[in-house]
Amino acid sequence: MNKEKLKNDLKSFLKNDLPKKYNQKTMFKEIIAERTPFSELSYKPLYREGHWQWHWQFLHILPKGTYPELKLFKGNIILGLPEEHDKQEQYEEFQERKQLLRDVYREIKSEEFY
């Protein structure tokens, strides 16, 4: 992922208020429409909407409990199968995206103080 694009997207996201009806399910549907329906970790096809594990295929890169303001940021989501969810930290792609997102987030937050 391009660092500058991620930084611009995150800055824009943090500045704007989301509509009150915007929720994770809405975001998940948008992500599926925008990305290929394959795991970004194993490249296997994802389950279709309606499958009982469909919503488990959207993995938050930075935890939504620690970073609640990023819960609905599309750049904080990586697609993966439900069985990859519990072991997401073992995937190199996940680790790289996590480090990049954390670095960009810290840069933006530090800029707010200057």
State pLDDT tens for residues 19-28.
Answer: 778 899 999 9
pLDDT exceeds 70 at position 95 = yes
Q: What is the pLDDT of residues 29-57, one digit of tens each?
A: 999 999 999 999 999 999 999 999 999 99
Angle (nearest 5°) at CA 7 between 6 and 9: 65
Residue 16's pLDDT is 85
Higher pLDDT: 58 or 19? It is: 58
Q: How many domains does the chain have?
A: 1
In terms of residue numbers, what domain contains 25?
A: 3-111
Residue for token digits 């750049």?
75
Element (H, E) at 78: strand 77-79
Provide the percentage of residues in the chain whose pLDDT is more than 70: 96
| Dihedrals phi, psi of 52, to nearest 5 degrees | -65, -20
Residue 113's pLDDT is 61
> What distance lies between CA 80 and its chain's CA centroid?
11
pLDDT exceeds 70 at position 114 = no
Residue 111's pLDDT is 78
> What distance lies between CA 64 and its chain's CA centroid?
10
- Whole-model pTM: value is 0.89
Angle (nearest 5°) at CA 114 between 68 and 60: 20
Residue for token digits 């995206």?
97
Q: Is 9 exposed, middle or buried (0-12, 13-18, 19+ CB in 10 A)?
A: middle
Residue 90 tokens, joined: 């073992």
